[in-house]
Amino acid sequence: MRFSARHRARIALSVFATALMAAALAGCGSGISLDEPIEGPVWRLVQLGDEPVPPGGEAQIQFDRSSGRVSGTGGCNRVSGSFTRSGITLRIGQLASTRMACADPVRGANEAQFISALQTTATYRLAGPGRLALLDASGRTVATLNSASR
């Protein structure tokens, strides 16, 4: 089977365009796998929405892959519940919490906002090594956390 020069040129151009597009898309990536596991490290709350959390806060969570459970603290109370993750989709089930009063009203307000953020999480984004952003269904960042090792 013989192809005309015009047909061979179209095939070559098509192959070149595909290779060029693949190279361009590879350059756009952050180098962070979107399916990198979030399970394992302890994630400390550093930001709620657009507001940084004051230093010294103890709000943190940890995802356990083997049990499908999430646990941690809102800053005053322990929290636990279930979660499911598939790719960047993250759903946190109803959370149970202890009922200790927060002596500091700011900490109490941050805890309530953090628990609300966890409950509204629909997806996540790894914003860099050791940095996890939780996003709601509209794609708005509701909380940002750093791994405890950072």
Mind listing the pLDDT tens digit for each residue in 40-79?
999 999 999 999 998 777 899 999 999 999 999 999 999 9
**Tell me, what's the pLDDT at 127?**
87
**Tell me, what's the pLDDT at 149?**
65
The beta-strand segments (E) located in 1-150 are 42-48, 51-52, 60-64, 69-73, 78-86, 89-92, 96-97, 123-128, 131-135, 141-147
**Tell me, what's the pLDDT at 55?**
76
Mind listing the pLDDT tens digit for each residue in 126-140?
988 899 999 999 999
pTM, to two decimals = 0.74
Domain parsing of the chain, residue ranges: 41-147
Q: Which residue has the higher pLDDT, 70 or 31?
A: 70
41-147 CATH pick, 3.40.50.620, 1.10.1740.10, 2.40.128.270, 3.40.50.300: 2.40.128.270
